[in-house]
Amino acid sequence: MKHFKSLALFVVIAALAVVVIAPAAFASAGVSLKLKGPSSAANGATIKLTLTIKNPKRADGSSVAYILQNSNGHLRWIGEKGITWNAAHTSGTVVFNVKAKASAMGIAKYKSYWMHPMGNTYSNALNIPLN
């Protein structure tokens, strides 16, 4: 019985270690995304959004990045585009041309993400006031 308790304790400790260490391992990919766009735009205008991907540990992943737009309080997929990587595959860029569409309070809201083996990495939320 004493051996069973030791084994059970070992299993519980191992499970806790996976719960604590696994997110840190995913974060260790070091991937970050930054979405930039105009400071304001006209509702319905086509605007240029630039996504910069920093990938210092060269995580392998999808060849495209995805763009999301806020619609009725929910982010929804509106497109994807191929990533242009540098020679070392440590940074990349994507330019999205999207139609500015107002959500709450006359603001167009966008977010982007990239899928890689460590999971999905999301960009900042970009809020563009519409005039």
pLDDT band at 21 (very low <50, low <70, confident <90, very high): very low
Burial class (CB in 10 A: 0-12, 13-18, 19+), 112: buried
User: The domain 31-129: what is its CATH number?
Assistant: 2.60.40.2470
The first and second tokens of residue 106, run together, are 């006359």
DSSP character at residue 90: S
* Bridge-based pairing state of the strands 107-116 and 126-129: antiparallel
Surface-to-core class of residue 16, CB atoms within 10 Å of its CB (0-12 exposed, 13-18 middle, 19+ buried): exposed
Domain boundaries, the chain: 1-29, 31-129
Per residue in 90-124, pLDDT (tens digit) is 999 999 999 999 887 889 999 999 999 888 999 99
> What does the pLDDT look like over 6-20, one tens digit per residue?
555 454 455 544 444
